[in-house]
């Protein structure tokens, strides 16, 4: 039986760690919510691919699910990359973060660490 992906979000840490291992994993997605603003919110995505042409996506939305910004990475097996986005929020608002991992049939789905820093508050 294949293992289930896990997402760990320690309270008030500003970090979300993801790791998945499954022999037939083709895609995985998860969503989290935090309060952001007013001011700058910095989102950092570190991703290491576990398979061929593996993709990682982090998309930020407002409470109406209108896209604020996003990060896209397409990497070859075993490659790693870090990308950072900075967003300015004029007031305190709910921010939805959607994380997606896609790829071919692989033995390891890879891993990523998402850090959210700056004007943020976690419940």
DSSP summary character for residue 22: -
How far apart CA 43 and CA 34 sit, in angstroms, is: 12
pLDDT (0 to 100) of residue 59:
95
What is the pLDDT at residue 30?
A: 78
What domains can be seen in the chain, in order of their start residue? 30-103+116-120 (2.60.40)
Between residues 57 and 7, the one the model is more confident about: 57
> Prior bond to 82 cis, omega within 30?
no
If phi over 0 gives left and psi between -120 and 50 gives alpha, with beta otherwise, what is residue 26? alpha
- Mean pLDDT throughout 40-66? 88
Residue 55 has pLDDT above 90, yes or no: no
Residue 122 CB partners (closer than 8 Å, separation 6+) = 9, 11, 12, 13, 14, 34, 35
pLDDT on residue 114 = 87
Average pLDDT of the residues in 34-44: 94
According to the model, what pLDDT value does residue 18 have? 46
41 neighbors 122 (Cβ within 8 angstroms): no
Distance from C-alpha of 123 to C-alpha of 88, rounded to nearest angstrom: 21
- Regarding pTM above 0.85, the answer is no
Give the model confidence (pLDDT) of 66-121 as tens digits. Answer: 999 999 998 888 899 999 999 999 999 999 999 888 766 554 567 788 889 999 98
Query: Which residue has tokens 């109406």?
Result: 64
Over residues 9-35, the pLDDT tens digits come to 444 555 554 444 443 445 667 788 889
């Amino acid at each position: 039986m294949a293992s289930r992906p896990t997402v760990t979000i320690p309270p008030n840490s500003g970090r979300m760690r993801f790791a998945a291992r499954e022999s037939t994993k083709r895609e995985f997605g998860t969503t989290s919510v935090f309060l952001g603003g007013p001011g700058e919110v910095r989102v950092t995505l570190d991703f290491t691919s576990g398979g061929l042409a593996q993709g990682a996506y982090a998309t930020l939305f407002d409470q109406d699910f209108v896209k604020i910004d996003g990060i896209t990475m397409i990497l070859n097996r075993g490659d790693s990359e870090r990308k950072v986005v900075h967003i300015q929020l004029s007031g305190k608002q709910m921010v939805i973060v959607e994380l997606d991992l896609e790829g071919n049939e692989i033995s390891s789905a890879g891993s990523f660490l998402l850090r959210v820093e700056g004007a943020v508050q976690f419940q």
